[in-house]
Structure 1
Amino acid sequence: MYTPAKPSRSSMLPLRRLNYHVRQWGPEESALPPLVLLHGWMDVSASYQFMVDALWHERRIIAPDWRGFGRTASAQADHYLFADYLADLDLLLDQCAPDQAVDLVGHSMGGNVAMMYAGVRPARIRRLVNLEGFGLPATQPAQAPARYAQWIDEIKQLHQGDKALKTYDGPEAVAQRLMKTNPRLSQDKAEWLALHWAQPNAQGLWEILGDPAHKITSAQLYRVDEALALYGCITAPVLAVEASGDSLGQWWQGKYSLNEYHQRLTHVRNVRIAVVPDAGHMLHHDQPQAVAALIERFLEES
């Protein structure tokens, strides 16, 4: 099994009536700005361990488990609002890095949160790295009636038990699931991740540490005009990192493309794009050394 080179420490933080699990690496005090890592959908903060191990400099690193993921309590609701991640992050920074601009890294959903937050609170971010946080395909107002109906129907399905997450016989089966989803993931890393990504329930079956309510489609349409307005307010330099595998094209099958995403990025005043070879969407698992090197070089620039 994988052995971390830089073991993390955990703490629970009261935040917006929830107990938030926060994972940290490195010294409590450092001359470098805090580095905050935001994980993606159906993932956990421990997902960054391989990348953290590959970072060169010792610094304080902070990574929360989002509400309803990992060891952070669920919201005790039957759906989640994206705006809550922005408020959670803001209050987290107030407690963990008050009066200090941070370096922010987000993967996938976490990358989308990072981009939005940097537009809402530009002074709080020194530099931003977006790992495959592409946003979503454009929508039209005419889609609203069907979207609200879908949201209601999925909430009914959740309460009927139709949205329950799959269970596994043990951590070995969880590791196999992780490797099936990401064929580039080695077995030693999958076995280590499985212990942080899932846990046994009362029946002894292993469950993914994610609230099933996260599977409910948002009632709100994704408005590109809002996203671009937020992008335009970002003042921090941005590094947008993509994997060579073009996961965006695989997901959306022509409904949304890398070219369209790149066009959106032109609304960010200071942005560059980097591509990680031989990597898929979980690029920080596939090529942790390459991703760490990109981040380190970018954060070191004056």
Structure 2
Amino acid sequence: MREPKQSAPLTWTVEEDGVLLPFLLSHVKGKSRNNIKSMLSSGQFRVNGKVFTRFDHPLAPGDRVSLAPKQAREEVPALPFPVLYEDKDIIVIDKPAGLLTIANEKEKIRTAYHILTDYMREKEKNGRVFIVHRLDRDTSGVVLFAKNEETKLAFQEDWEGRVRRRGYRALVEGVPDESEGRIRSYLRETRTHLVYSGAPGRDAKEAITRYRVLCSGGGYALLEVDLETGRKNQIRVHMSDLGHPIAGDRQYGAQSRPLGRLCLHAHELTLVDPRTGEERTFSAKEPAAFRRLCRSGSGEGRR
């Protein structure tokens, strides 16, 4: 029995300097502009054998642009975490707990930054990502990366001014006496890098956290937490100060570890986009187990 014959790719040779999308619009017949843009975004076109997805990828005389047969198209490797949003300048992910945002002394490879760098280079030869902000290894949730240095600097040079909201969900031990409140203290750090609330002074940093109880039960409460300041370990310290440490946070006094992780999740980031001036919100729902535990009358998962 004969094997089905695979069709050869459609190929065009570039004759003058230009960019990819206008070239495709003038050479690909029978497709609308939106069809071609969709095909380009999904990696169906190659330049000199490599997949490119940017509309403004430069072309030079002699370059060969091709549309691969469907069965031969390259696929960008799947990422081990959800991509919440991506365009030509930024990519926003839902980072899982246990994954570093960026390398430290002990771990250089298994980081969100390294994984996304490989992902971008598979999509485009010179693709890169840049750190804009980060989450601790044990905190899950929304992290934004830039795809070029200009965008990175635009965010970082006025990060505090651009951020409108940093919303977290924290599963804590016990139930706060007040259903909502505001915690203010001055954070200091020991030589061993333990952050704690101390007296005001030159080396102390003011930290303000607001919280609201969403549900409770089984010895836990799920809190909506908002940061008025963004200090290292701020939420962890303030929940401990409140007398209700985050579940799984043994360093700050937790007695239980119901999910084998720190039960803290960055669920919403709202900021003013420096490129457009518009307010943008990126969100990622907290793990379902957070609510399941705080609704459990039996203290499910405590140990």
Shorter-chain TM band? under 0.3
TM-score, normalised to structure 1, is 0.23
TM norm structure 2: 0.23
Relative contact order higher in (CA < 8 Å, ≥ 6 apart) = 1
Greater per-residue helix proportion: 1
